Chain A
C-alpha cells in the first residue's frame, strides 16, 4: 500500500463513498425511480477519484490543468451527480431535481448542463471514443492532464468499445486510465447468460493495454492499490493505456437489490429509501 495513504485517508474515502450512496438513493427516490444498481456499484471508485486521485478544482470546473472524467456508462449519472454536489460543483438541492421537467440533471450526464461534466455520454460505447479523443488532444498539446474513463461490462458488448481499445493502444494514450465496472449484470439479467464478456482483463491485455484485475472492486484500498500499480500519477502521456477491471456488486449498499437481477432501473418508495439509507449508514459507521 502506498505509504502516503494512511488509514485516516482510507476511512475518509470509505465514508465519502457511503455519502455518495446515500445521496444517490435520496436523489433517485426523490423522483421515484432510476438507475440505482449501476450507480451504487461505482460509488467507491467515484470516492477515490474525486476524493483523492483526480486533479480538480470544483470552484473552477473548466480549469485547464484539470483531469477529465468520462462516464461512458452514462446511466450511472445519479452517482456522479451526488459526487459532484458533495464536492461543491453545484448546490446539493439540485439533486432533488433529477429527471424532473426542465432539470439540469438528466438520466445521462450532459456536459452543456452540469458544471464538472466534461463529456456527454449515455448512448453506450460512445463516451469511450470521446475520452480517447480528449486524451489524444491533450497528448498532442504536450499536456499532463489525465483522462479517467468508466465503462460497464454490459457496455462492453458494444463494438465501439473495442474500436476504441485498438485505437488507444495504437496511439499510445498513456494518459487514458479506464475502469470497467464489472458487476456482471445488465438490464435483462446476468451478462454471462446474455452475451458473456468472459475474462475482460485478458481481453484488454490482448488489445495492448496495461491491465489490473481487482477482485473486490468496491474496496477502497484495492482501488488505490490498482492506481498505484499502473503508476497513474507518474505515467507519461505516451505509453500504454490502462484498464483497471473492478469486479463490483451491482446495487451494493442496499441488501434488497445488491447483486441481484432487476436492480438496473427500479423504483424506490419511502420505506425502501429509509431502509437503504440506514444500511449505508451502518457501512459508514463501520468504516
Chain B
C-alpha cells in the first residue's frame, strides 16, 4: 500500500529559489547573483532590491555572463548565474566548458523552465538536452531539483561546495514530494517508494518523480509492486542504486523530462551495463524538438504521464519474465 499523498507546493519554485538566495546571501557576503535579463521571469527582483551591489543583470548576453561569473569566482566570489535552461546549455556551452570547467572555476549555473515546463515559450525555448550537454563537461555536477524541500538543500550545497555545477529548476508550480527535514546527499538517489517484492524500479527525475509515484499506485492496484528512485543527481550518478535496482528488481524504467539519448535513460543504461544489465524501458523525449502547449498536453504529446510510466513498467516486467523463462 502506497500512502504518499501528492499535493502541489504552496509556493512556486521561483519564490523558494529567491528566498534561498536571500538566506544564503545573508550568511555569506561572497554570494553574487548574475542573470541575463530574466530576473523578473525567475522572480529574483527581491534579491536585487535587498542586494543591489551583489546583483549583476548582464543583459541579454549569456556568453559574457558566464565569463564574468568565472572572473568573479577567480576573485573569491560565489556566483550564481541564471537563465533559461536552453540558453544556459546550448548558447553558453563553450564558455561553461572552457572558461568554467577547463579552468576549474566555481560557478553555480541555474537553468530554468526545463523541458515541457517551458509550455507556451516552447519550441525555441524548450530544452530537452541541457542535462545531457552538461553531463559532457568533465567534473561538472548536474542536478535537478524535484521540489522545494530538495531545492533548499540543493541551494545550500551549491553555495558551500567549490566547482562548476548545474541545477535544473522548474520555474513555477511543482508537486510536493518531500517532507521538511528529508536527508539528501550528492551522488545518492532517494528511495521514494520501496515495496517488498518489487518487480521493477522506476528511476525518475524532476517532474517525472510525482508521475512515477502516481504510476506506482496504479501498479500496486494491479498487483505489480515497484521501487521508485528519485535520481536528482545525474552526475555524479548513483551507480550503486542502479546496480542494486538491477540485481534486486531485475527491470528498470527511466522517466525524465528530457531527451532519452543523452539523458537519464542513457546515464542509467551506462551504469546498468557496467554492473548488472537488465531490461530497461525509457520514458522521456525520443529525439524530438520542443513545441508550445500547456504542460498536460505536452506531457501526453511526449509520453511523460503516469499512464505512460505504467505501460512501460508492464512492458519491462514482461520482458524480464521472458528473459527469465529462457
Using CB atoms and an 8 Å cutoff, list the residues of chain A in contact with chain B: 110-112, 118-123, 125-138, 140-141, 159-160, 163-164, 166-167, 170-171
Q: Are B59 and A136 in contact (CB under 8 A)?
A: no
Q: Are A136 and B98 in contact (CB under 8 A)?
A: no
Q: Are A128 and B56 in contact (CB under 8 A)?
A: no
Q: Are A133 and B67 in contact (CB under 8 A)?
A: yes
Contacts of A141 in B (CB 8 A): 75
In the complex, per-residue mask of B75-90: 1 if CB is within 8 Å of any chain A CB, else 0: 1110000000000000
Q: Are A140 and B98 in contact (CB under 8 A)?
A: no
Q: Are A132 and B102 in contact (CB under 8 A)?
A: no
Pick from A123, A137, A138 the residue with the most CB of B within 10 Å: A137
In the bound complex, CA of A241 to CA of B25 (Å): 29
Q: Add 13 more A-B contacts to A129-B68, A134-B75 (CB < 8 A).
A: A118-B74, A119-B103, A120-B98, A126-B95, A126-B99, A130-B74, A132-B68, A137-B77, A140-B32, A159-B63, A164-B67, A166-B61, A167-B59
Main SS at interface, chain B: helix
Q: Which of A111, A121, A125, A167 contacts B68 (CB 8 A)?
A: A167
Least distance between B52 CB and chain A CB atoms (Å)? 12
Given the known inter-chain contacts A120-B98, A167-B58, A167-B59, please indicate yes or no for A160 contacting B71, CB distance below 8 A. Answer: no
Main SS at interface, chain A: helix
Q: Are B75 and A126 in contact (CB under 8 A)?
A: no
Q: Is B176 an interface residue when CB atoms closer than 8 A count as contact?
A: no
Q: Are B75 and A130 in contact (CB under 8 A)?
A: no
In the bound complex, CA of A123 to CA of B94 (Å): 8
A118 to B, closest residue via Cβ: B74
Given the known inter-chain contacts A112-B103, A120-B103, please indicate yes or no for A137 contacting B64, CB distance below 8 A. Answer: no
Q: Are A129 and B103 in contact (CB under 8 A)?
A: no
Q: Are A163 and B71 in contact (CB under 8 A)?
A: no
Least distance between A78 CB and chain B CB atoms (Å)? 19
We find that the number of chain B residues with CB closer than 8 angstroms to chain A is: 28
Given the known inter-chain contacts A133-B72, A166-B59, A167-B58, please indicate yes or no for A160 contacting B64, CB distance below 8 A. Answer: yes
Least distance between B83 CB and chain A CB atoms (Å)? 13
Given the known inter-chain contacts A120-B98, A120-B103, A129-B68, please indicate yes or no for A163 contacting B75, CB distance below 8 A. Answer: no
Contacts of B56 in A (CB 8 A): 136, 171
Q: Which of B53, B67, B75 contacts A129 (CB 8 A)?
A: B67
Least distance between A167 CB and chain B CB atoms (Å)? 5
Q: Which of B64, B75, B95, B104 contacts A167 (CB 8 A)?
A: B64
Q: Are B94 and A126 in contact (CB under 8 A)?
A: yes
Q: Which of A129, A136, A167, A170 contacts B99 (CB 8 A)?
A: A129
Listed by A's residue number, 29 A-B pairs whose Cβ atoms lie within 8 Å are A110-B103, A111-B74, A118-B74, A119-B71, A120-B102, A120-B103, A123-B94, A123-B99, A126-B63, A126-B67, A127-B99, A128-B67, A129-B66, A129-B71, A132-B71, A133-B71, A133-B75, A134-B75, A135-B71, A136-B68, A137-B72, A137-B77, A138-B75, A160-B64, A163-B63, A163-B64, A164-B64, A167-B59, A167-B68
Q: Are A160 and B77 in contact (CB under 8 A)?
A: no
Q: Is B70 an interface residue when CB atoms closer than 8 A count as contact?
A: yes
Q: Are A137 and B74 in contact (CB under 8 A)?
A: yes
Contacts of A136 in B (CB 8 A): 56, 68, 71-72
Contacts of A135 in B (CB 8 A): 71
Q: Which of A120, A137, A164 contacts B75 (CB 8 A)?
A: A137
Contacts of A111 in B (CB 8 A): 74, 103
Q: Are B71 and A131 in contact (CB under 8 A)?
A: yes
In the bound complex, CA of A164 to CA of B59 (Å): 11
Q: Are A120 and B99 in contact (CB under 8 A)?
A: yes
Q: Is B69 an interface residue when CB atoms closer than 8 A count as contact?
A: yes
Q: Are A160 and B63 in contact (CB under 8 A)?
A: yes
In the bound complex, CA of A134 to CA of B72 (Å): 5
B36 to A, closest residue via Cβ: A163
Q: Are A134 and B94 in contact (CB under 8 A)?
A: no
In the bound complex, CA of A123 to CA of B102 (Å): 11
Q: Which of A122, A123, A134, A170 contacts B71 (CB 8 A)?
A: A134
Q: Are A140 and B77 in contact (CB under 8 A)?
A: yes
In the bound complex, CA of A125 to CA of B64 (Å): 9
B70 to A, closest residue via Cβ: A130
A110 to B, closest residue via Cβ: B103
